[in-house]
Structures are given as structure tokens and as C-alpha cells.
A and B are shown apart, each in its own frame.
Chain A
Amino acid sequence: MKLTIDGKPLEVEPGTNVLEAAARLGIEIPHYCYHPDISADGNCRICLVQVGDATRKLPIACMLPCAEGMVVHTASPAVVKARKGVMEFLLINHPLDCTICDQAGECPLQDYSYRFGPGDSRFVEDKGKKQKHVPFSDKVLFDGERCILCTRCVRFFTELRDAKPIGVVNMGGKSTISLGPNGPIDDPYQMNIIDACPVGALTSRDFRFKQRVWFMDFAETVCPGCARGCNMTAGAYQNQLLRFTPRRNPEVNKSWMCDDGRLSYKRYNLESRTRGAVVRGQPESLERALDAVKALVGDGSRTAVLAATTLTCEELFAVKTWAAGAGVKTLWHGAASWKGDEFLKLADATPNTAGAKELGFLLAPLLPGSTTPRPAGLSVLVVAGEVAVPAALLDGLDALVIQAPAGGALAEGASVLLPGRTPLETKGTWVNATGHRQAVRPALDPGAGVPESWTLWRDLAGQRWPTLQHLQAAMAAAGSAPARKRTPSVAEQALAQPALAGNNLP
């Protein structure tokens, strides 16, 4: 059906609401209680629009189905005034907490106040008081005064988690969100309500008071926790990760990620790591270390490679290219697992198993479910990345080469230790379990003595890729990067649906 929004014509399929239709035209209609991945509730009233000439009653765009010939105005004088009125109503009892509220700087209440609000306050009465910093769990804190009762948090649980740990209690101006008698929220996805909350009413206890977001550096990347590949934003300050938050991807993770993945950022703030190289227990230059590796590998006939499935496709391609040139015919990938669930978590606890498989790596012998045989006469194992090595695989080895951020338990027995980067320090591509080829971007700088991991394999191979792009071009030429489902970049997503970020600001 055809309609007009702010004078612009548009054709939509039946069932589309005006908010979504406007977003397709790049027109943002402000919203709080509406969320693209939860139901519409129609309570905040900020998405009011004008249809035709009727100004006495203004419908809400999020629940207004498009109709043939409908003429919608999203910024008429009546709408602008009504919107200002709603902003004013939202602010009158809202506490002046910005100076101590973690949401500041990424707060849709601040943003819409600035863009649509009245500016000055006309409220000279006493503000209503409610409970502040109420623990909803060991992960989430609730502030009743900041809450605008959009009920996204309640609906997240009832609609997506089939549970009701929190609800709305009391009546009228005394209404607030509360736990039930069963006590704190116990859900492995509960921290998503922190992002869903458009104000500072639900905040992360882990992140509380750590840093102001405008001082932080953000990288748009992918969670390394499992093969789901939830899109996320890694936030750091002075080269230390402070948090992970989900980024919306309608095809992969919607607006969500699991709490385990979210809190796994701590793992990537390394206390100690390998800088430069270590050969037989002694620090050595990278050049000499690579020579040592060449010497150990020899003609490659008795060497196997075990690559972690946290490596990017580019890193794996570099390893494979070296192996081919060095006569190493045995390419294995590792595995790690945890308990998956029916929501986002997949049992494969690594992000790029699909990428390794498509490049021809096989599941290493002796790992659960593996039918790969251990070749006779194996004497050199080259381990790329942080991966669990089955103990029996080490039997009878003459040499062990490890390229990883830290050598770990095997460091003592390693012939050569090469420095490696964590996924949070790496640029490249991962392929998730649903075939999405997603961009990995670094959030941290590892510092001196830790070059980009793929360059070591390039140098070992004697390849001449000056930059990562050159490697990627080589991958394409080798047909190693088949065209698959590609996640649109954040910029592309924004063009498509600028208004439906679900208020998840990076």
C-alpha cells in the first residue's frame, strides 16, 4: 500500500506500522517503549504523529498500521508541541542524577531532551521519591526514580525468556518495577535489560562507576564466546577493556547477547603475555625464532598444525599458505565447548569453526567426536592460537611450536614460543554457525613485541603481502572466501533503519 510521510511517498506491505515505515525513509520518530525486538506497548507516548489534519487526537506511530493513502506528519507544530509535552512530563519527576548516572552520554532521555524537550523546567514542585539502587540481582541494579515505566524490561522476560522475574507494582504515580517474592533475577540473559532500558534505571553492577562513556574507546566487533557470533561493541579505556555490550543485528543476535559473553571481557585484559619470541626457554628475536621454526619443521613431512578456531579466516589462510609452502600436509583445528541453550548460546564455544573448516582444517584427533587419525611418525606440532591440546597428542613429539598470547601450561615444554594477539586485538573475519561472515575489529593495542599474528605466518612463508588487504585479495583469488551471507556494516544498517537501533548506542 502507498502512503506519504512528511511529504515523501512510500510503499509498504500490509501490517507495517508507521514508525517502521518512517525509518525506511530515514525519518526517525523518537520512541522509548517500542523496541524492534520486543512487542510494542504504546505507553510512553513520545512517538505521537499527526495523521491528516486531525490535531486534537494524535495516534502513536508504533501501533499505527499504515493505511492506503494515509498522510502522516512527524514534525507538524502539533506533534512538536505534544512531543515537547511528553518530554517535559518524563523529566519532571526524573532525578537530577546525570552527574552520577552511568547512562550519561549514551542516554536516549538526555538525547531526546536535547532534541525535543522544552529546555527550561516549569516544574517548581517537589519531585516524587522512589527506591534507588535496588539490587535486582548480583548483575543488575534498579533505580525507581529514573524509571520511565516503559516496561521493556518486564516484556523482555515475558516475551523472549518465557519468565516473569520482575513486574510493575502499585498504581498511578507510585508505580514502579519490582522483583517478586522469589527473589533476585536468575537468568543467563538478564543483563540485556540494561541495554533495553532507555534510561539509567537499569544499570550494570559490573560497570558501575567505572568510567564515563565519552572517555572510552569503542570497537564494533563480534563476541568470541561461541559460534553464534553475537555482534558486540567492546568498550575500553586506556587500553583496558571495561565492558562488552551487544550490537543489533537482526539476522544474528537481534539486540542481545548472553551474560557470560558479555562479562568475558575480563579475560582479555592480560596480566602477562609473550612479547618477542622465546626459543628453548631463552628470549630471542622474532627473526631468529622464525629460523628456528623453519629448522624444526624441515621438509614438513613429520609436522602437523593445530589451529585454534578463535583465529580469523585471514590468520588461518596465512597458516595454510605457509603450511602448503613448507610441505606440511596435516592441518587440524581445535575445539572448545560449553552448554548451549535454545536462545543464543551454541555448544561450540569458539567463534570461527566454520571458517577453519571451509579452509580445509580438520577436527584434531582425540578431541570429542573426531575421526581424524593421528599420522604415524608425527614429531613436530605447531600450535597457532590459544587452544586446548589433547595430552596424548604430545606423546613422542620432538618439538612443539606455540604461537599464542601466552604459552600457558605447555610453555615450559615448548621449543619455540611466538607472540600472539587475542581476538580483541585482531582485525579480520569470522564465519559463524549460520554462515554469516562478520568483521572482527580490535579494541586493544597489545603493545611492543606483539605483531599482528598473520604477519608471522607470512614471514615464515616468505610471502609478500604488505597489508592485510593484500592477504584478503589473495584469499579471494584462491577462492578461499566464497560469497556467503554478509552482515551489513553498521553504517549500512543505519541507512536502512536509522531509527530502530533500539536505543543501543555504542
Chain B
Amino acid sequence: MAAATPTPAAGPQAGGAPSAALVAKLTPLKARYPHAKAAMVPVLRAVQAELGWLGPDTQAWVAQFLGVTALEVHEVVSFYPMLYDKPVGKHVIHVCRTLSCDACGGKELFEHLCSKLGVQRGGTTQDGRFTLKAAECLASCGTAPVVLIDNERHENLTPEQIDRLLEAAQ
């Protein structure tokens, strides 16, 4: 599927509370559940989309927002691969490395990106623009190789195509 525009303003920041506009959107989420704590992952993903990553201050904010302890938030953030407790670049690239993709060009695509961006797996470029991560199966095995850029899916990628996508990313 073609990509939508990448998530705006997702760059490394100092952490802390999300914008008032986002808080207004998140508050009704809590009402979906009998316990506010159940909004944990949706809230964390939404806050991460705005702030880029989930530093200790941000986690503390989420904790008080949900009425839980900072440790309970940390337990959850440290578990999930798609919750980042370390700063990431402006754009996060996930390359699927599971069998169907790896066997159909995914491995070569990943190596291409490592050398083009000058990073190891998990690393961020010097200019802070891109973080390159490996992902496990992204549920699009029929259109391998598959990549997420800022959580939007790109399929059937050749090295040339991904180069163009990276150039287009602001």
C-alpha cells in the first residue's frame, strides 16, 4: 500500500508531557475501560508518536495520567519492541527480517540500508534523521521485502525504491 505522509514532528526531544491537544484526545480513551490502566499501551503509542520516544519524564507523566506507578509504566515500556525508551531519529525505519521477507530480498535490503545510512541494526544516523531497526513479521509476506517507515507500510521494495523514499522523508 502507498504511504501516507510520515508522522509529523517525531524527533528526539527531552521527554516530558505531551501537548494539551493530545491530552484532550487521550482523556476519553480511559473511559473505554473499567480501569484507566488499560489505556496504557494506546496512550503510550500516542504520546510516543508526538514526542518521538518515552523518556523517564514522559513515563512519569503517563503514570500519573493513568493513576499507576512509574515502575508499572517502565515494566510495560521495556517489554514492547515498538515502545522506545531511548531516543530515536526523526524517522524510524523497520525492515522485516523474518523468513518470507529475508528469503525474498529482505536481507539484502537491510544490508543496503546499513551501508547507505552508515549504521548498525538499531542505530541512528549522525544527522539524527533515521533510526534503522529490524522487525519481525509485519504480516505482508506476499509483498516481500516489506518495510515500515514511521509505521506506514511499503511493499515489494527494491534498494532504488527505498532510496527514493528516504530522500522524500523530511
Contacts and interface: CB of A to CB of B under 8 A. Distances in A.
User: Do A and B contact each other directly (Cβ–Cβ < 8 Å)?
Assistant: yes
Contacts of A139: none
A181 B70 CA distance: 7
Interface string A174-193: 00001111100000000000
Contact of B79 (A164, A165, A170, A182): A170
Contacts of A165: 71
A182 B60 CA distance: 10
Contacts of A170: 78-79
Contacts of B30: none
B74 A182 contact: no
Contacts of A181: 56, 59-60, 70-71, 74
A171 B79 CA distance: 5
A182 B70 contact: yes
A496 interface: no
A170 B75 CA distance: 7
Contacts of A171: 78-81
B72 interface: yes
Contacts, number: 36
B74 A178 contact: yes
Nearest to B60: A181
B116 to A, nearest CB: 29
A169 interface: yes
Interface of B is mostly: helix
A422 B56 CA distance: 51
A168 interface: yes
A180 B59 CA distance: 11
A360 interface: no
Chain A CB within 10 A, most for which of B60, B70, B75: B75
A451 interface: no
Contact of A169 (B56, B74, B81): B74
A154 to B, nearest CB: 10
Interface residues of B, number: 13
Given A181-B56, A181-B60, A168 B75 contact: yes
A435 interface: no
Given A167-B74, A169-B74, A180 B69 contact: yes
Interface in A146-204: 164-171, 178-182
Contacts of B69: 164, 180, 182
A169 B70 contact: no
B60 A169 contact: no
Interface string B78-120: 1111000000000000000000000000000000000000000
A168 to B, nearest CB: 6
A181 B71 CA distance: 7
A451 B54 CA distance: 67
B79 to A, nearest CB: 5
A234 to B, nearest CB: 35
Contacts of B60: 181
A165 B78 CA distance: 16
A172 to B, nearest CB: 9
A167 B79 contact: no
A166 B74 CA distance: 11
A88 B151 CA distance: 40
Nearest to A167: B75
A149 to B, nearest CB: 13
Contacts of B79: 169-171
B72 A169 contact: no
A170 B80 CA distance: 8
Nearest to A174: B78
B71 A182 contact: yes
Contacts of A167: 71-72, 74-75
A168 B74 CA distance: 9
Interface in A341-381: none
Chain A CB within 10 A, most for which of B72, B78, B80: B78
B30 to A, nearest CB: 21
Interface in B107-166: none
Closest 6 CB pairs of A and B: A180-B71, A169-B78, A167-B75, A181-B70, A171-B79, A170-B78
20 contacts: A164-B71, A166-B71, A167-B71, A167-B72, A168-B75, A169-B74, A169-B75, A169-B79, A170-B79, A171-B78, A171-B79, A178-B74, A180-B74, A181-B56, A181-B59, A181-B60, A181-B74, A182-B69, A182-B70, A182-B71
